Amino acid sequence: MYNILICDDEKDIVKALKIYLFNEEYNLFEANDGREAVNLAKKHEFHVILMDVMMPHMDGISALAEIRKTSNVPIIMLSAKSEDTDKILGLNVGADDYVTKPFNPVEVLARVKSQLRRYTQLGSLTTSDDVIVIGSIQLDDKEKKVRVDQNEVSLTPTEYEILKLLMMNPNRVYSPKQIYEQVWDDCGFASENTVAVHIRHLREKVEINPSEPRFLKVVWGQGYKLERN
């Protein structure tokens, strides 16, 4: 059983989230403002907290900071504030994820699951030289397998090679031409389009929301990179 706290001043949203998250494995708690959430977090041990930002009494960011003082529980921010600066603020204060309203319930569900796995199964990771872990993506070069949030993802050999290249040098931007030359081991003449298509497929497989990727990012006009924050 995992304890999940849902904190939002809009009771209907809490209710809807409860319906979506209703599961035998989850024990759902509810809070309607930041103070309540902080108090609950002191009493119980939560495995994931979903937190709204704009709330009465104590806003989500303050509550986040308060909870972070005592706990490293995964906290997913849910907010109508969709500015980059808001996201950066939330993540910097200590949020693990940031989902903007109006959200896709399925996406929220996936993210909750992802955070739960990361939080609870972190210790069981087999760390060897052949395993590269970036965020929730885990690449085992010996078994030639890729797992995202512990779930195995089936990749084509080309996709695997591209992901491996990017994961070996995280944060480095590779141009499509470079990727082609390294993966295909050929001179990339007018083959950049192929790379772009492969990258998109790859993104669809490893990202929860492909149009808003967390790890496999597109640097427009320059190339692709695997971001490790």
Partner 1 sequence: MEKNEVQEFKKEFKLKGLKYNQMNKSIMFVVCLIFLAITITFGALVATAFKYDMYFSTKKDATEEINRDVVCRDFYCDSIYDMMNAYSVEDYSNLEILSSSHNENLRFTIGTPTDLFQSDEFDLTKYTLVYEASGYYYNYAIENTQLHEGKVYINNDYLTSSRFDIVNLGIDYLYKYKHMLIIGVIVLLCFDLWIYIWLLHAAGRRENREGYVMNACSKIPLEIYFPLICFAIFFLAAISSDILFFNYRLQVIFTIIVFVIGGMLVSIDFAIRVKTKTLFSNTLIAIMYRKTVYPIKLIVKKMWKEHTNLMNKLVIVYVLIGFFAVMPFIGAIVYLLLFAPLVYLAYILMKLHEATIQLAEGNLDYQVDTAKMIYEFKESGENLNSIAHGMNIAVEERLKSERFKTELITNVSHDIKTPLTSIINYADLINKEETENENIKEYSNILLHHSERLRKMSEDLIEVSKATTGNLEVNLQPCQIDVLLSQIYGEYDSKMQEKGLDFIINKKEYLPQILADSKYIWRVLDNMMNNIYKYALENTRVYIDVVHVDGKVSMIFKNISKYPLNVDPQDLLARFVRGDDSRHTSGSGLGLSIANGLVTMQKGSLDIQIDGDLFKIVLLFDAIDKDDYTEFSM
Q: Are 142 and 54 in contact (CB under 8 A)?
A: no
- The least CB distance from residue 80 to partner 1, in Å, is 4
CA–chain centroid gap for 76, Å, is: 9
Residues 7-26 that bind partner 1 (CB under 8 A): 10, 12-13, 16-17, 19-20
Supply the angle between the helices 105-120 and 11-21 in degrees, to the nearest 10: 60
The sign of the CA dihedral 121, 124, 126, 127 is: positive
- Residues in CB range of 98: below 8 A, 6 or more apart: 76, 77, 79, 86, 87, 90, 91
Give yes or no for residue 45 binding partner 1 (CB under 8 A): no
Q: Which of residues 144-163 bind partner 1 (CB under 8 A)?
A: none
Nearest distance from C-beta of residue 126 to partner 1, angstroms: 34
Q: Is 199 a binder of partner 1 (CB under 8 A)?
A: yes
User: CA 219: distance to chain centroid?
Assistant: 19
Does 175 bind partner 1 (CB under 8 A)? Our answer is yes
Question: Per CB under 8 A, does 165 bind partner 1?
Answer: no
Question: Two tokens at 213?
Answer: 């990727």
**20 vs 152, which CB is nearer to partner 1?**
20
Q: For residues 18 and 117, which CB has a smaller minimum distance to partner 1 in the complex? A: 18
Name the residues that contact partner 1, by CB under 8 A: 10, 12-13, 16-17, 19-20, 54, 80-83, 101-103, 105, 175-177, 192-193, 195-200, 218-223
